[in-house]
Amino acid sequence: MPTPPRSRGAGPRILRGGLALLTVLLVAVTGFGWWTLHGLLSGITVSEALGADSPRSTGAAVNILLIGLDSRKDQSGNDLPQEMLDQLHAGDSSSGGYNTNTLILVHLAEDGSVEAFSIPRDDYVNVSGIVPGYHRIKIKEAYGLTKFDAEQKLADDGESDQATLEKQGREAGRKATLAVVRALTGVPIDYFAEVNLAGFYDVAASLGGVEVCLNHSVHDDYSGADFPAGRQTLNAGQALAFVRQRHGLDNGDLDRTHRQQAFLISVIRQLQNSGSFSDMGKLNALMDVARKDLVLSSGWDQDLFRRIGGLAGEHVHYQTLPVVRYDTVYGQDVNIVDPPAIRALVATTFGDPSAPSNTVVPADVTVDVVNASGVRGLATEASNILSHNGYRDGTLSLGQEAGSPVSAVDYGAGAEGAAQAVATALGIVAPPRPHHDVAAGRIRVVLGNDYTLPTDATSLATTPSGGESLGIGVGTSDLPVPDEGLPISGSGIPCVN
């Protein structure tokens, strides 16, 4: 099991990686030409984690996942310099792990507008079939837990080269993170960019001053934040405190997410308006940071960079995915979320034509269930859950090879939206798959040995409080009601808490 986090009210927290995402934005906003792309961008690490068979958007719109990785290691697994960690208040190189403490899903629409959703790091999500050995975890943990599992399997097979273990472990962690975000949001991911903790430090040190605006004065001994209300320009050290602070804020991590969004907007505006990139010396220095700290998925090209670099601030809007409530599960602070509501919100906001329809009439959907888990009676119980939710009973059968490791939902022609609804009802997070052996309009569920039935016998439908039924007991909480706040626009310097 993952190491339980500290409680919301105790102990300092290290920076969560938000500003590290500036590295890719620094590259993007320059809008430099083809020769620069092939020249200056050479040497940046490229990942194949998306894979050729990953779902992609249709048309000209694209979705990009920005990943801020909380790691005290460089890309080869070597310790970061202690002096860097001291300035970040990040402990030593053995602290922390490989949590993705910042996830921002960005949608570049065909009309040039941009909608971005920050995904709170403590969202408690279903990862069955994605993260080996786990059913539900905080979304931030998918990367590190999968990385550890992949490295352990390689080591058991005789691999001892640390660089190989690090590289392949990180690729496995990226694949898991991408799969979990796709399952939560219901939309494909076309590109991603990842930056680690060192990337934040290197970029923040090169920025000089960045203007921000606070609604109220703040003082926090944990992060070192000590700022008056109003607009002000922060140096690199103050910027660290600005985005680290969560103590003393009404909405904790959600308010810190707003600060990350506001800071990104401010830096983009500063770079676009200052002409900083006419200085090739400064540009080369920034690109040195990118080569050291940045990972891009394959496929980033001149057109994509040009689209990002040409964005006008007023066309960029940031939101935070909704949280139903805060709670405590097995001693961990978590955010209870409603995945169907999140998928509907993202699909509506993105207007993504590749997203499946959310209009599903269960009585019109017939579902066959195959028990490939080796657990007697599992297909019957799963079918009963679907019947309770209004789906039509299909055939029940045993898989040819009991003990299949991965659960899946297959669908025939025209049933993609229904397949996603069935997957949600049963808590299967692997993306549904089209299959030629399944009749048009019909669904086939294959239950593998990773599958765990919901214990409340009513599936993962929303609970009376609006959150996802966890199938476990969760405690009551006197924590404040989550407030994701209004969308933040890039049309000015936004004021935040």
Contact between residue 118 and residue 319 where contact means Cβ atoms under 8 Å apart: yes
Whole-angstrom Cα distance, residue 415 to residue 257?
36
pLDDT of residue 19: 39
- The domain 362-447 having CATH identifier 3.30.70: the answer here is yes
Q: What is the pLDDT of residues 360-372, one digit of tens each?
A: 778 888 999 999 8
What are 332's strand-pairing partners?
Answer: 329
**In the structure encoding, which two tokens stand for residue 475, read together?**
């405690």
Contact between residue 432 and residue 387 where contact means Cβ atoms under 8 Å apart: no
Whole-angstrom Cα distance, residue 25 to residue 268?
7
Q: b/e for 430-449, b at 16 or more Cβ within 10 A? A: bbbbebeebeeebbbbbbbb
Q: Helices in 310-443 by DSSP H: which ranges? A: 339-350, 378-388, 416-426
- Whether pTM > 0.75 for this model: the answer is no
Contact between residue 62 and residue 108 where contact means Cβ atoms under 8 Å apart: yes
What are 185's strand-pairing partners?
Answer: none
Whole-angstrom Cα distance, residue 268 to residue 66?
15
The residue extents of the domains of the chain are 18-338+480-496, 362-447
Three-state DSSP at 190 gives coil
User: Which CATH number does the domain 18-338+480-496 belong to among 3.40.50.300, 3.40.630.190, 3.30.1360.230, 1.10.3470.10?
Assistant: 3.40.630.190
Q: b/e for 187-201, b at 16 or more Cβ within 10 A? A: bbbbbbbbbbbbbbb
Whole-angstrom Cα distance, residue 242 to residue 82?
22
**477: pLDDT confidence band, cut at 50, 70 and 90?**
very low
User: For 252, left (φ over 0), alpha (ψ -120 to 50), or beta?
Assistant: left
Whole-angstrom Cα distance, residue 89 to residue 15?
8
Lowest mean pLDDT among 179-183, 325-329, 351-355: 351-355
Contact between residue 124 and residue 334 where contact means Cβ atoms under 8 Å apart: yes
Query: For the chain, what is the mean pLDDT?
Result: 75
388 — phi, psi (to 5°)?
A: -60, -30
pLDDT of residue 455: 44
Residue listed under structure tokens 């310097």: 493
Q: What is the pLDDT of residues 160-206, one digit of tens each?
A: 998 899 999 999 999 999 999 998 998 999 999 888 766 666 666 66
pLDDT of residue 131: 92
Q: What is the pLDDT of residues 199-232, one digit of tens each?
A: 666 666 666 777 889 988 998 887 778 899 999 9
Contact between residue 336 and residue 467 where contact means Cβ atoms under 8 Å apart: yes
**473: pLDDT confidence band, cut at 50, 70 and 90?**
very low
Whole-angstrom Cα distance, residue 119 to residue 410?
28
Termini Cα distance of the chain: 34
Burial class (CB in 10 A: 0-12, 13-18, 19+), 148: middle
